[in-house]
């Protein structure tokens, strides 16, 4: 130990010789003086050998040949080398003669002389050998700056610089290491510490290293991964000098900066003492292409609102670091970020963390709240102990509680099967999801509300919160039942429709079949009546007349039934023509009606306003409508008048009115007269007197519908009735066919 310190001091004293501009004379003098002083040596002499004038038999020759130090600790008159006898005469008692070796070649001799016997112990010889080696190196490479530097490093290391330094011999054994190396690598010097074992490099590898080019090695020291760059330079033929530069932090820093840059939400800026951005890495907003380049040279405090900037400055003045959320704008892009500025040796470091993520989480949360409020299901928010902390509107509606009553309530009280709730909560706590468990909720009045619930757990950062979504099943069941009912009714309607169509078809066919024999009955009846088959007496004629009347009536019924059936079965196609409504009056059917009205003592009028245009309609069907309406009026009027009035109702339609002063229609009958076979006077039965079938108005309505018109009436018992219908002036293509 003492030896180490002494050697250290010795080498330290030699340091200026190594690092200063090299002067051989001075170097030797310095070395001699240090050796004298430190080891108590009285004289040091250095001789350079030149040429071949060396006497092999002499002491110098011996030292050069053996390349070993020659020690004589008791000089005497009888020494084998005459030179040493001379030294004895000069008053010295012990000596050490060493070769000065450079690159394996002895280039000189160093002679140490002491007036004391036994001065050159092993330790001292060892120490001065190193010094001699050093001087040898210094001399050999005099002027070579690189060597000087390496030597400086070497000696530096002897005095505990923080970087590890080592010397390694050609066997790969670490022969010397400074304190840092010993501490960092937990070394104990000795043969077991080969450089191969410790650093994973062979001597050869290190020897071959070019100056300035390191080997990078990761070493695990005390379970810590540390990265070193190992620089090597040749100290002598058989020794390399190693300098280890720890780059762990630099590596870490590069990793951090790469990952921060790829995150694109974090930036670290290097600011000078005026807060100007000198550089940095990362990105605060992916919108920025080159965030760091864009912000370089910007005074960061200028980008902040004044208040924020002052807040930062004052807290920095007080030596505090604050993190503040700030909105600022860089190259025209607005950004919101958390910012922290702290002081460093060369200025400040500013860390920015984008607040965008937080904003989007907030937006998401708002959307969730929106959703909870908008859903028609019950949503209950429950804390870790089962207390309700929030609810939505449907919760109040379906459970019949007020929100205030639900808040703070234990949710178990709302469940009839608490074990299901406990089970489901436990399940979601273990990161499961519960969907559609059947439960019975208890309403405020104690009634059960059958439902299914879904449960989710949310971690709020400090505790769990549970969201329970409850779908009540009562409404759903009612809706389902209604749905089934509607479906059933739909199919019934379909059946009815089919039956009704079948019926129309049947009537249509049968009426047709009846018409032919009836025509024969009528024909032969008429021939009988007219006496074509022989004379008939008065009584017989009366009976035949009855047969003919009944046949007429039957024919009317059949014709109308056939017509109604045809209309109902959509078999009627309108034969559209231009119709002049004034001219209809001259139609023989209308004329015949006028005649019969007059016979009955009723006045008859057909009035058409001057502005009524010709219309497009099926003239025969139109006459049928008028015959039905006018016929009814005559039938149900005993005194007064029958008036037909035709006017223009609008730009596109005309209106036809048939007005009588007859018996009128009761309120009860008003609802039914358009129904088939309905006759007011007989309460639904076809009259026996041959005057009607109860089909006229039904057929009339169908015909007007076919024309896309409308029929209505008003009537008062005892005063008369007014039937009126509108017809479009022209029939468009679409209106012609009824769908
Ligand atoms: P009908 O062939 O029996 O006349 P309608 O369908 O034409 O059949 O008329 C049905 C019923 O409406 C008639 O039986 C009658 O009771 C009533 N009715 C129709 N027109 C009039 C009217 N102008 N005045 C009074 N009642 C009427």
pLDDT tens across 596-620, in order?
999 999 999 999 999 999 999 999 9
Name the residue at shortest CA distance from atom 4 of ligand 1: 692
Name the residue at shortest CA distance from atom 19 of ligand 1: 632
pLDDT in the model for residue 454: 92
The whole-angstrom separation of Cα 155 and Cα 17 is 11
Asked whether the beta carbons of 396 and 388 are under 8 A apart, the reply is: no
Residue 632 Cα to ligand 1 middle (Å): 6
Pocket test residue of 553, 604, 632, 717 for ligand 1, highest count of atoms within 8 A of CB: 632
Higher pLDDT, 471 or 567: 471
Q: Which residues pair with 605 in a beta bridge?
A: 643
Confidence of residue 580 (pLDDT cuts 50, 70, 90): very high
Q: Is 165 helix (H, G, I), strand (E, B) or coil?
A: strand
Q: Does residue 671 surpass a pLDDT of 70?
A: yes
∠ CA 23-29-33, rounded to 5°:
145
Q: Does residue 151 surpass a pLDDT of 60?
A: no
pLDDT in the model for residue 737: 43
Residue 551 Cα to ligand 1 middle (Å): 22
Residue 421 Cα to ligand 1 middle (Å): 72
Nearest CA to 349 out of 254, 268, 293, 274 is that of 268
Q: Does residue 502 surpass a pLDDT of 50?
A: yes
Asked whether the beta carbons of 154 and 175 are under 8 A apart, the reply is: no
The DSSP element (H or E) to which 307 belongs, if any, is helix 306-317
Nearest-atom index, ligand 1, CA of 681: 16
The whole-angstrom separation of Cα 470 and Cα 175 is 79
pLDDT in the model for residue 569: 74
Q: Which residue reads 């030292």 in tokens?
A: 63
Other CB atoms within 10 A of residue 651 CB: 6
pLDDT in the model for residue 720: 94
The whole-angstrom separation of Cα 338 and Cα 324 is 5
Nearest-atom index, ligand 1, CA of 658: 23
The whole-angstrom separation of Cα 733 and Cα 695 is 29
Name the residue at shortest CA distance from atom 11 of ligand 1: 679
Mean per-residue pLDDT over the chain, rounded: 82
Q: Is 722 helix (H, G, I), strand (E, B) or coil?
A: strand
Residues composing the chain:
739
Q: Which residues line ligand 1 (CB under 6 A)?
A: 628, 632-633, 636, 660, 662-663, 665, 673, 678-681, 692-698, 721
Q: Which residues pair with 381 in a beta bridge?
A: 390, 467
Residue 626 Cα to ligand 1 middle (Å): 13
Residue 713 Cα to ligand 1 middle (Å): 12
Q: Does residue 342 surpass a pLDDT of 80?
A: yes
Most confident of 167-176, 359-368, 469-478, 634-643: 634-643
Name the residue at shortest CA distance from atom 13 of ligand 1: 679
Confidence of residue 268 (pLDDT cuts 50, 70, 90): confident
Name the residue at shortest CA distance from atom 2 of ligand 1: 692
Q: What six digits make up the tokens of 310? A: 């002052």
Asked whether the beta carbons of 695 and 686 are under 8 A apart, the reply is: no
Asked whether the beta carbons of 723 and 658 are under 8 A apart, the reply is: yes
Q: Does residue 590 surpass a pLDDT of 70?
A: yes
pLDDT in the model for residue 661: 95
The whole-angstrom separation of Cα 173 and Cα 157 is 18
Asked whether the beta carbons of 156 and 149 are under 8 A apart, the reply is: no
The whole-angstrom separation of Cα 179 and Cα 159 is 8
Q: Which residues pair with 283 in a beta bridge?
A: 266
Residue 726 Cα to ligand 1 middle (Å): 20
Q: What is the mean pLDDT of residues 569-574?
A: 82
The whole-angstrom separation of Cα 248 and Cα 731 is 95
DSSP 665: -
Asked whether the beta carbons of 340 and 322 are under 8 A apart, the reply is: yes
Q: Does residue 216 surpass a pLDDT of 80?
A: yes
Higher pLDDT, 660 or 58: 660
The DSSP element (H or E) to which 503 belongs, if any, is helix 474-529
Nearest-atom index, ligand 1, CA of 698: 6
Q: What is the pLDDT of residues 294-313, one digit of tens each?
A: 888 888 888 888 888 888 88
Nearest-atom index, ligand 1, CA of 699: 6
Q: What six digits make up the tokens of 356? A: 């965008």
Nearest CA to 428 out of 470, 464, 472 is that of 464
Confidence of residue 739 (pLDDT cuts 50, 70, 90): very low
The whole-angstrom separation of Cα 472 and Cα 372 is 15
Q: Is 666 helix (H, G, I), strand (E, B) or coil?
A: coil
pLDDT in the model for residue 188: 62
The whole-angstrom separation of Cα 611 and Cα 164 is 121
């Amino acid at each position: 130990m003492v030896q180490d310190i002494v050697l250290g001091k010795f080498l330290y004293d030699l340091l200026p010789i190594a690092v200063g501009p090299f002067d051989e004379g001075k170097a030797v003098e310095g070395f001699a003086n240090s050796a004298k002083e430190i080891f108590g040596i009285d004289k040091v002499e250095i001789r350079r050998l030149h040429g071949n004038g060396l006497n092999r038999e002499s002491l110098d020759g011996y030292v050069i040949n053996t390349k070993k130090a020659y020690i004589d600790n008791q000089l005497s008159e009888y020494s084998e080398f005459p030179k040493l006898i001379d030294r004895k005469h000069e008053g010295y008692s012990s000596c050490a003669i060493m070769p000065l070796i450079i690159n394996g070649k002895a280039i000189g001799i160093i002679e140490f002389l002491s007036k004391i016997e036994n001065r050159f112990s092993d330790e001292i010889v060892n120490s001065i050998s190193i010094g001699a080696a050093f001087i040898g190196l210094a001399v050999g490479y005099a002027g070579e700056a690189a060597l000087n530097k390496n030597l400086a490093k070497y000696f530096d290391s002897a005095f505990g610089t923080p970087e590890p330094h080592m010397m390694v011999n050609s066997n790969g054994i670490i022969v010397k290491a400074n304190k840092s190396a010993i501490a960092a690598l937990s070394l104990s010097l000795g043969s077991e510490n080969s450089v191969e074992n410790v650093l994973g490099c062979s001597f050869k590898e290190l020897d071959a290293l070019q100056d300035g080019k390191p080997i990078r090695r990761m070493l695990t020291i005390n379970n810590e991964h540390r990265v070193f760059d190992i620089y090597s330079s040749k100290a002598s033929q058989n020794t390399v000098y190693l300098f280890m530069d720890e780059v762990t932090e630099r590596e870490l820093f590069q990793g951090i900066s790469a990952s921060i840059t790829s995150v694109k939400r974090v930036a670290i800026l290097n600011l000078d003492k005026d807060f100007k951005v000198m550089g940095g890495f990362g990105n605060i907003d992916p919108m920025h292409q080159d965030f760091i380049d864009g912000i370089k040279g910007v005074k960061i405090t200028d980008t902040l609102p004044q208040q924020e900037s002052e807040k930062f400055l004052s807290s920095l003045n007080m030596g505090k670091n604050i993190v503040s959320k700030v909105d600022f704008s860089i190259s025209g892009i607005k950004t919101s970020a958390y910012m922290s500025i702290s002081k460093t040796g060369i200025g400040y470091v500013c860390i920015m963390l984008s607040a965008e993520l937080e904003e989007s989480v907030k937006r998401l949360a708002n959307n969730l709240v929106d959703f909870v409020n908008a859903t028609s299901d019950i949503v209950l928010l429950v804390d870790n102990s089962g207390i309700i902390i929030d609810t939505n509107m449907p919760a109040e509606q379906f459970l019949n509680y007020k929100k205030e009553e639900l808040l703070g309530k234990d949710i178990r009280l709302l469940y009839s099967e608490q074990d299901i709730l406990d089970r489901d909560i436990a399940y979601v706590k273990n990161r499961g999801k519960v969907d559609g468990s059947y439960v019975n909720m208890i309403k405020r009045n104690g009634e059960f509300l059958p439902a299914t619930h879904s449960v989710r757990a949310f971690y709020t950062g400090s505790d769990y919160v549970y969201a329970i979504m409850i779908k009540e099943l009562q409404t759903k069941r009612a809706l389902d039942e209604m749905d089934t009912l509607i479906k059933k009714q739909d199919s019934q309607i379909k059946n009815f429709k089919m039956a009704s169509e079948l019926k129309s078809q049947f009537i249509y066919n049968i009426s047709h079949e009846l018409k032919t024999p009836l025509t024969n009955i009528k024909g032969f009846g008429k021939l009988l009546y007219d006496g074509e088959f022989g004379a008939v007496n008065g009584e017989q004629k009366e009976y035949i007349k009855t047969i003919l009347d009944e046949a007429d009536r039957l024919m009317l019924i059949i014709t109308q039934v056939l017509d109604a059936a045809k209309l109902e079965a959509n078999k009627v196609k309108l034969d559209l023509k231009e119709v002049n409504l004034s001219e209809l009056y001259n139609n023989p059917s209308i004329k015949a009606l006028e005649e019969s009205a007059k016979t009955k003592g009723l006045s008859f009028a057909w009035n058409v306003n001057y502005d009524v245009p010709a219309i497009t309609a099926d003239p025969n069907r139109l006459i049928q409508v008028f015959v039905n309406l006018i016929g009814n009026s005559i039938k149900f009027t005993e005194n007064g008048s029958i008036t037909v009035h035709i006017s223009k109702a609008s730009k596109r339609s005309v209106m036809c009115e048939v007005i009588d002063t007859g018996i009128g229609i009761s309120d009860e009958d008003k609802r039914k007269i358009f129904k088939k076979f309905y006759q007011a006077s007989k309460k639904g039965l076809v009259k026996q007197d041959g005057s009607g079938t109860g089909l006229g108005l039904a057929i009339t309505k169908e015909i007007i519908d076919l024309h896309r018109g409308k029929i209505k009436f008003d009537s008062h018992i005892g005063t008369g009735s007014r039937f009126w219908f509108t017809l479009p002036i022209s029939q468009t293509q679409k209106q012609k066919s009824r769908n």
